[in-house]
Structure 1
Amino acid sequence: MVSFKKLTIRDILFRSRMAYYNRPSLAFVGQEPVTYADMAVIVRNVSGMLNTLGIGKGDKVALIGENSPNWGMAYLAITSMGAVVVPILPDFSGHEMESIINHSEAKVVFVSAKLYGQLDRKNIPGVIAYILINNLQPFDESVTTPTAGMPYETPKAIVNVDYCDCELPRPDEDDLAAIIYTSGTTGRPKGVMLTHKNLVSNVLSTLMIQEVNENDRLLSILPLSHTYECTIGFLIPMATGASVYYLDKPPTPAVLIPAMQAVKPTMLLSVPLVIEKIYKNKIKPELTSSSLKRKLYSFTPTRKLLHRIAAKKLHKTFGGELHFFGIGGAKLSFEAERFLNEGRFPYSIGYGMTETSPLLTGSSPKLVRFRTAGFSIPGQELKLLNPNPHTGEGEIIVRGANVMVGYYKDPELTQTMFIDGWLRTGDLGYIDSDGYVEIRGRSKNMILTASGENIYPEEIEDVINKHEFVLESLVYELRGKLVARVHLNKEALEKYYENLKHSAKDWQHNAEEHTRKVLDEIMNYVNAKVSKFSRLNHIVEQQEPFVKTPTQKIKRFLYKE
């Protein structure tokens, strides 16, 4: 059992340096990992450098870059000396990055060479120094300007005599460790304030439901600047002696599959979109490619057998040693989860939010219950606010050591998030007799009909997304009517029309007419499967992919007409 003298990130680093001295910690795929001992030396040097730049306890330091070993070491260097890290998503625009730097009052900015060009230094006058993540060294733009193609290099693990004598401040459990700005799905960026105790308590609570040890290898494919990947995919491995491997290119199939074979990860964190795409674009078409296969797939016993065979093949593609495939960030589609469940793939679905550091519910793969998000993790209290006496549904609220202290410089917004000391998640759920939590949808998204019925758009979207011609969808209310936007699977449509002997020319000339027919077919398909009050009135094509948050939730506020 992992334990610390104090619940601080510094204590994680100190314990791991001693317990896992020569074990591999962080690396790019295909490169030599940094050992825990060397990592501790590099982190100490970077902390000393920050100290000489004038950074003290409580000062804010921004961190902008792609996933890399150096990103992780910068994070540890900032937090272990009592400063506050401000991780900024690399997908944000330059204007958004500058706004966050100014709002957080960051004095120093760690930035990758690839992203540095997005910043205009004139717009962030409070910054006293810039440090290049690629080599963890300060730079002066008047002397050198980082180029986007600059490679990464790991600093030498030699104690820097210029910094070794400086006395570094030590963080306390209740000190602020991070301010995390998230665009969320509401369009209003918020700086979530998380203490060392918030983060480390969530590390310990998560380890009580899923073991991680020094023999585990993680392949990181989600942004480290998001709490989901940072806590579960970085801090937990660093606390348990596991190793984490990063990609030096975007996680396309051409990059990801060879990386899986090279690393042979034992654990992997994902968002639903990844496995949904794999199932819908690769697995299901293969299992239903002929009339005989479709007939076999329509029977439950043979479908389960086919799923088992396909899941074994997928497991081998993932390196063959995976024992934990964690899914979070949004709700997984019914069909994709059924495949994983019937295929006995070692998956687990968790639920959480940035404001709770982040995990609230989860389970080990052996304890997964279909269509639930696991059970409440130890060390917190979770319940439903004003549950409906007929359905048992209510808003999920929580209190515990993992709950944020509030939003930075926004006490009014902070106040709206709490009720009698409990954090309001804004998510509607149901808790069964065994404590398993089923997420029904966001309370803000729920549509109340004139007859008093509660409609959850996410549940209708789940039905829409099962259709073979649909990639993703969004359901909302427009002038009292239910409307859906649908992003169509053009590849599947082209194959369908080829089978009907329609020429490509015919499709091009009559694209609008054909698309309307497809949309009408989808609407009829959905309305035959949902309750009367959940039926769609209209369906329109969403020609471009929906704009999404870092955890691949659709930014709904952009599409409400």
Structure 2
Amino acid sequence: MIKERFITYVEDSIRKNWEIEALSNYREKGYTYKEIAERIVKLHMAFKEYGIQEGDKIALVGKNSANWCAVYLAVVTYGAVIVPILPDFRTEDLQNIIKHSDSRMIFVDEKIWEQFEKEKIRDLLCAITLEAFEMVMSREENILRIYKDLNEDFSKAYPEFRPEHIQFSSIDNEQMAVLSYTSGTTGFSKGVMVPHRSLAANVRYAQHNMPLEPGDPVVSFLPLAHTFGGAFEFLFPFTYGCHITILTKTPSPQILIQAFKEIKPRLILSVPLVIEKVYKKQLMPVISKPHMKALLKVPGVNKILHKKILDKLTETFGGRFKEVVIGGAAFNADAEKFFRTIGFRFSVGYGMTECGPLISYASWDTTQLGASGRAVDTLEVKIDSEDQQNVVGEIILRGDNVMLGYYKNEAATREVIDEEGWLHTGDLGVIDEAGNIYIKGRSKNMLLGPSGKNIYPEEIESLINNYRYVTEAVVISEDHKLVGLIFPDFEQINNDGITEATLPEALEVIRKDVNNRLPEYMAVTKFRVHPEEFAKTPK
């Protein structure tokens, strides 16, 4: 097992970088490592007074922010378990997760708290807003009193707060640090139990292999409640003494590009869609013109043009980045090939929540076209086939990154982790002689939403399938938009006098009603009639 500890990484970074800026919301005053440490220690004092034990769960529901990050660090370094939940989930789903996770406290955006049905979350000791750290609910009077006295108690305990005061929990690496829910929908959602060793393994690998140095600026725009954004836009750079600027809302391409120009990040994490949009919207209209196509085939001239395109593209991302790491879903093959041709510094990684998330990575100058890097040093990865270099099989793995299992769901855990400790990813691929992993398909059907949020089509399909005129539905992604293919219930349609001409109108009513019951990022843009039953294949 890995000897390094995530909490030790946090302690060391705070001590070393005491006076430099750690976290700031975009275009707002930031917090130094010392100020973040003060917030952490104050919360530790409150947790202790409230009787919070190591292993207790604390929910965190809100948009990305410096305060969100401070709470996350406070909970994990205390030895409690953070339950970060996407704020986009429906209120009912948020409440179900809070209840299922056995959370004892919650830190939450004020607007989200106002929508909660308080009688459904009666097990919570208290609720504190993320915007102003105001306690908006407490089950006992002394809980509120303790919280109000925190600043005074902190000043008494630490008249001169110094780096040597930073000494957090010594909890064992095998204990749970994060309880990450893969979805919001009851019946589909699984609570992934990420242990401390997984956080340590991800941070250690990133420190040794990803191109960041202490003090480097980083822009955080992916959902921090997801392990990809959380690990590599927040935890890794924080443990390295970087300054993390957080975009508190899902940014438009214009705001994102503006932020890159202002902050000039040294490492950029992205989902494929962001990069593909740049390729599709900015580059394709230029390079697909007939005269440009001809010029790009002329030796010498093409090198000059490629250099100009590369310079412009590099400027778009701030001009100072050492590498763009792309993960979360498959990268468009045409875009990847073109970016590789012009020398754009990017790499494609591979991961999953169950590994906290990193499975494989290679630096931009060593990665191979079409590959998703090589296995990290804390994982053993292989292909479940007779010839892993030539015969596609399921990607399976084991090691320090792997989860403890699914919370309160032993059956689901046994489905993916076998008796020898191999985690079955549900992804298909091959591994070449040099260890490069090539993903050939996904037996799991997870889609990635425009802002990096996971979308599980089965959830939407099960909802659509309940409607009167639907026999079966399949949800697919077309041009990064969700489309519902509908095999209609023709018998019911005929009985209700619905004609071929009026069927689209009836289905549109269903689509709008479905979207009203889903988070915005899971909205289906259109329905299309599928005239026959969908083909079935064995699992």
Q: TM-score, normalised by structure 2?
A: 0.76
- Equivalent in the alignment of 1:339: 338
* DSSP-derived class of the 2:115 partner: coil
Deviations 1:236-264 (A, max 9, x none): 11111111111133310232222112111
Q: Deviations over 1:271-315 (max 9, x none)?
A: 011111121122111223x43224435779766654442232121
Deviations 1:149-196, CA, capped at 9 Å, x for gaps: xxxxxxx99972477699975422122111100129997211000111
Classify 1:368/1:78 alpha carbon distance in 2 versus 1 (closer, same or farther; 3 Å): same
* Aligned residue type for 1:407: Y
Decide whether aligned partners of structure 1 residues 170 and 213 sit closer, same or farther in structure 2, where only a CA change above 3 A counts: same
Asked whether the 8 Å contact 2:211–2:322 carries over to 1, the reply is: no
Which residues in structure 2 correspond to 1:110-189 (within 5 Å)? Answer: 110-140=107-137, 160-161=154-155, 170-183=170-183, 188-189=188-189
Residues 329 and 352 in structure 1, CA contact (< 8 A), matched pair in contact too? yes
Shift of 1:364: 1.2
Instruction: Work out whether residues 59 and 85 of structure 2, in 8 Å CA contact, stay in contact via their aligned partners in 1.
Output: yes
**Structure 1 residue 206 displacement after superposition:** 2.9
Give the aligned partner of residue 313 of structure 2.
314
- Residue 416 of structure 2 is matched in structure 1 by 417
Residue 136 to residue 392, structure 1, CA distance change in 2 (3 Å):
same
**Partner residue in 2 for 1:280:** 280
Give the superposition deviation at 1:216.
1.8
Tell me the alpha carbon deviations over residues 387-412 of structure 1, each in whole angstroms, 9 at most, x when there is no partner. Answer: 45893221111111111110000111
Question: Does the Cα contact within 8 Å between 1:185 and 1:553 map onto a contact in 2?
Answer: no
Are 1:45 and 2:39 matched, yes or no?
A: no
- Which of 20, 25, 34 is equivalent to 2:22? 25
Where 1:320 maps in the other structure, the secondary structure is coil
8 Å contact from structure 2 (residues 7, 168) kept in 1: no
5+ residue gaps, structure 1, are: 143-155, 446-456, 459-473, 477-482, 491-542
Structure 2 Cα separation of the partners of residues 554 and 323 of structure 1: 36
How many residues end up aligned between the 2 structures?
454
Q: Evaluate the alpha carbon distance shift between residue 207 and residue 65 of structure 1 in structure 2; reply closer, same or farther with a 3 A threshold.
A: same
Please name the residue that 2:369 is paired with: 370
Whether the 8 Å contact between 1:45 and 1:163 is mirrored in structure 2 is no
**Cα distance in 2 between the residues matched to 1:44 and 1:189:** 33
| Structure 1 residues 360-509: aligned runs within 5 Å | 360-387=359-386, 391-419=390-418, 420-444=420-444, 487=478
Shift of 1:225: 0.2
CA 1:300–1:359 in 2, change beyond 3 Å: closer, same or farther? farther
Q: Contact 1:387 / 1:395 at 8 angstroms: preserved in 2?
A: no
Query: Could you tell me which amino acid in structure 2 is paired with residue 63 of structure 1?
Result: L
Q: Is the 8 A contact 1:399 1:422 kept in 2?
A: yes
CA distance in 1, matches of 2:65, 2:386: 44
Q: Percent identity?
A: 34
One-letter amino acid of the structure 1 residue matched with residue 45 of structure 2: G
User: Which residue of structure 2 lines up, in the alignment, with residue 511 of structure 1?
Assistant: none
Distance 1:389 1:129, change over 3 A: closer
Contact (CA 8 Å) 1:349, 1:372: kept in 2 or not? yes
Distance in 1 between residues matched to 2:213 and 2:389, nearest whole Å? 44
SS in 2 for 1:223: coil
1:235-254 equivalences in 2 (<5 Å): 235-254=235-254
Q: Structure 2 CA distance, aligned partners of 1:554 and 1:364? A: 35
Farther off after superposition, 358-367 or 12-21: 12-21
Q: 1:75 to 1:294 in 2, by over 3 A?
A: same
CA-based RMSD of the aligned residues comes to: 3.7
- The one-letter code of the counterpart of 1:67 is N
Paired AA for residue 41 in structure 2: R
Distance 2:227 2:258 in 1: 27
In the alignment, structure 1 residue 65 sits paired with structure 2 residue 47: no
Cα offset for 1:119?
2.1
User: Hey, what's the Cα distance between the residues in 2 that align with 1:306 and 1:395?
Assistant: 41
Amino acid across the alignment from 1:60: K
Map of 1:256 onto structure 2 = 256
Structure 2 unaligned blocks of 5 or more: 140-149, 160-164, 448-456, 462-473, 482-510, 535-539
